[in-house]
Amino acid sequence: MSRSVQIREVGPRDGFQNEPERIPTDDKIRLIEALARAGFRRIEVASFVRPDVIPQLSDGVEVLNRIDIPDDVQLMVLIPNSKGLDNALKVRDRFHEAAIFVSASETHNKKNVNRSVAETMADNAVMAKRVRAEGLKCAAVVATSFGCPYEGKVELGRVLDLAERFAEAGATEIGFGDTTGMCNPMYARDFFAAALERLPGVEITAHFHNTRGQGLANAYAALEAGCTSFESSFGELGGCPVPKGSTGNIATEDLVSMFHEMGVETGLDLPAVIDAAREAQRVLGRTLTSHSLVAGPIDWHLQSA
């Protein structure tokens, strides 16, 4: 296994968009800046979707324009379609990476973006070319990579075929999303071993949800297979709006805690990540579900006293 990994924090986009109420813009900015101070070098901060579809992210441009973060922090935005890309490029100088996406299952893709997989991929090919022409990093995401709540099993070959098409279009990073928490550790290990073999030279990213409590085990299995890039959300915020019950992503602080106890470097300040999650909990006015938020980091001196 690798002795170091990188983690992209996706809470400010993937987490905030699933909250029932809009989070005040000032609070969002303060939380993103706290995450940057915790050592993150990659943060997903906005999505250029229609405001009436996801009103929680309607202030994305203001957030991008106002956040004050170190120069070495790479900001990512999620782009749903060419219209969204048009809007994103109006503030092109405020972010560094653009992510395009598709669901591996037809039913989930239709429910999520109201288009077929073929229609989505055709638009993605156009967007990838435009993103690269702007000098931006093009990342791609295959949602429901490990199973679809409507169609059940999603064949590995189908997922990797879509990933290969993204790579051919110019995506230099491909994330595989366990969108509704249907993965298990054995499959995660086999999946990422196959993905790394099929896509040499492409950054492979694991994006697990903790819907059924297997998120950390899946991350460990992906690490065993050779994956060194992960996404997670502080406070275990997030989930999937379709279907109901698809609860949050892996908690960043839990993932960092596990890696650090294993001797795997992340470059992150775990207490600072926990502090950011604690502040998010205060802003949201409800108890969040990450374990490290409750227990804190392990204090070995205290444990041996």
Which residues contact residue 117 at a Cβ distance below 8 angstroms, ignoring those fewer than 6 apart?
Answer: 102, 103, 104, 106, 109, 162
* Residue bearing tokens 């999620």: 78
Cα–Cα dist 211/41, whole Å:
26
**Contacts of 43 by beta carbon, 8 Å cutoff, 6+ apart:** 8, 9, 10, 12, 32, 35, 36, 69, 73, 74, 75, 76
Dist. CA 65–CA 91, nearest whole Å: 8
Grade residue 146 by pLDDT with cuts at 50, 70 and 90.
very high
pLDDT band at 84, cuts 50/70/90? very high
Say yes or no to pLDDT of 27 above 70.
yes
CA atoms 245, 249, 250, 253: torsion sign: negative
| Cα distances (Å, whole numbers) of residue 74 to 71, 92, 116, 166, 297 | 8, 13, 31, 21, 26
DSSP secondary structure code for residue 89 in this structure:
G
Q: What distance in Å separates the CA atoms of residue 125 and residue 136, rounded to the nearest whole number?
A: 15
Closest listed residue to residue 63, CA positions, set 92, 97, 100, 27: 27
pLDDT at 69: 96
List pLDDT tens digits, range 166-188. 999 999 999 999 999 999 999 99
Could you report the per-residue pLDDT of 95-135, keeping only the tens digit for each? 999 999 999 999 999 999 999 999 999 999 999 999 999 99
Q: Is residue 207 part of a domain?
A: yes
pLDDT tens profile 29-40: 999 999 999 999
Sole residue written with tokens 């098409």: 165
Res. 242: pLDDT tops 80: no
Domain annotation covers residue 77 = yes
Q: Is the pLDDT of residue 304 over 80?
A: no
**Domain coverage including residue 239:** 6-304
Query: Would 1 be classed as within a structural domain?
Result: no
CATH code of the domain containing 250: 3.20.20.70
The predicted pLDDT at position 301 comes to 81
Sign of the CA dihedral with 7 first, then 12, 17, and 20 last: positive
86 part of a folded domain: yes
Active site residue 240: yes
pTM attached to this predicted model:
0.96
pLDDT, the chain, mean: 96
Q: Which of 148, 183, 227, 240 is catalytic?
A: 240
Q: What does the pLDDT read at residue 246?
A: 76
For the chain, how many structural domains are there in total? Answer: 1
Q: What are phi and psi of 93, to 5 degrees?
A: -80, 0
